[in-house]
Every structure is written in C-alpha cells, then in structure tokens.
A = this chain, B = another copy of it.
C-alpha cells in the first residue's frame, strides 16, 4: 500500500469525479477526462485506468450497474459511484487541498546533485531551461486568454502557469548570483573542476 488510501493513484480521484456526473464505462470516463483536459493535470495512462477502475470497484467506491454490448465488441461494463465513493472523493480532495505534503519535483533532485557538472555547463543548461520555461509560460498564458470560459474551470492551469513563472524567476535570480559571484561557495565549485581537488568540506558539509 503506497499510502494510507485504499486507491492511491490520483487517476482514481479523477474517475470518481467523472462518475459524479453519471454512470459510465471506463472508456467513456477516459474520454470525458480528456475533454476536460484532466490528462494535463495528472498522469493519465491507459494501463492504469483499468487497474484503477478495478481497484475502485474492489473497495466499493464504484459498482458495476450493467453492461452494454454493441455487435461483437468486448462487453463494456458501466460503473456508478457509490455513497462510499462520493465520500472518498470528498475526503481525498479535502486532504490534498488542506494538507500540503512534501513533494519531490525532478528539478529539485537535479539541483541537489548539480555539483556533478562543471559550473559553466550547469549555467548553460539553466539558461536553456529558462528559455523553454519562458516560452511555455507565454504560450500557456496566451492559450488561457484565448479560451473564453469561466475561470473556475481553469484554476489548475492558472496555478500551473504561476508555478512555472515562479520557477523561471528563481532560475533567473540564481543565474544572476552565479554571474556576479554573490552565491557563496561557487568559487569552490569552480576550483574543484579546475584542480580536481574537492575543497575539504565537500564530502562532509559542516553541521
């Protein structure tokens, strides 16, 4: 069990949310999520969908309410939300919103081992990332502005833009500090790649 939740994959939450509108079969759920752009908000993998639906059923959050069959296609099971499922969805969202949990973005991990690269290369890569982020932020902002749609439906997207923007700003400031030498320890880093010698405190940072 990955967490204390019976079904841990967030796709499960999306499925529950979709089934709030009406009973559906899995593929229909997928279509709706696609239409809602949810595949942009969370990992959406076909393989996971059916496992997740199966688990939701196993734990009583949804139940099969019939199956339609057209021609000789595989039978499509239609699922409906149960009372437990409705409660689970609400509780899950409450948890996710109310309690910030530590997350581990890949970029953070990368920053923590940035020392494996030469400072000049690191700088170059950070500039590259910055460029891509700026582009994407601009594109997404434009996309959002073009879409005339009540903004409540778009808060995740607005959040996303805000976060990317913040990351871009942070990188810009880091690059600034690297440029004008106000980032303490940066010379030691450079030194290491010049002389092959670690400053004494690299393998055991003080305190």
Contacts and interface: CB of A to CB of B under 8 A. Distances in A.
B116 A97 contact: no
Contacts of A99: 128-129, 132
A10 B105 CA distance: 10
A84 to B, nearest CB: 14
A16 B174 CA distance: 25
A163 interface: yes
Looking at chain A's contact residues, is the secondary structure mostly helix, strand, loop, or mixed?
helix
A114 B207 contact: no
A13 B109 contact: yes
A21 interface: yes
Contacts of A204: 35
A104 interface: yes
Interface in A150-190: 150-153, 155-156, 158-160, 162-167, 169-170, 174, 183-186, 188-189
A67 B17 CA distance: 53
A111 B129 CA distance: 26
28 contacts: A17-B113, A21-B202, A32-B203, A36-B205, A38-B112, A41-B111, A42-B104, A43-B104, A89-B113, A90-B117, A93-B114, A94-B125, A97-B117, A99-B132, A100-B167, A101-B106, A103-B105, A108-B160, A114-B155, A150-B185, A150-B201, A151-B184, A152-B183, A152-B184, A152-B186, A158-B170, A162-B166, A166-B166
Interface of A: 10, 13-14, 16-17, 20-22, 32, 35-36, 38, 40-43, 89-90, 93-94, 96-117, 121-122, 125-126, 128-129, 132-133, 136, 147, 149-153, 155-156, 158-160, 162-167, 169-170, 174, 183-186, 188-189, 198, 201-207
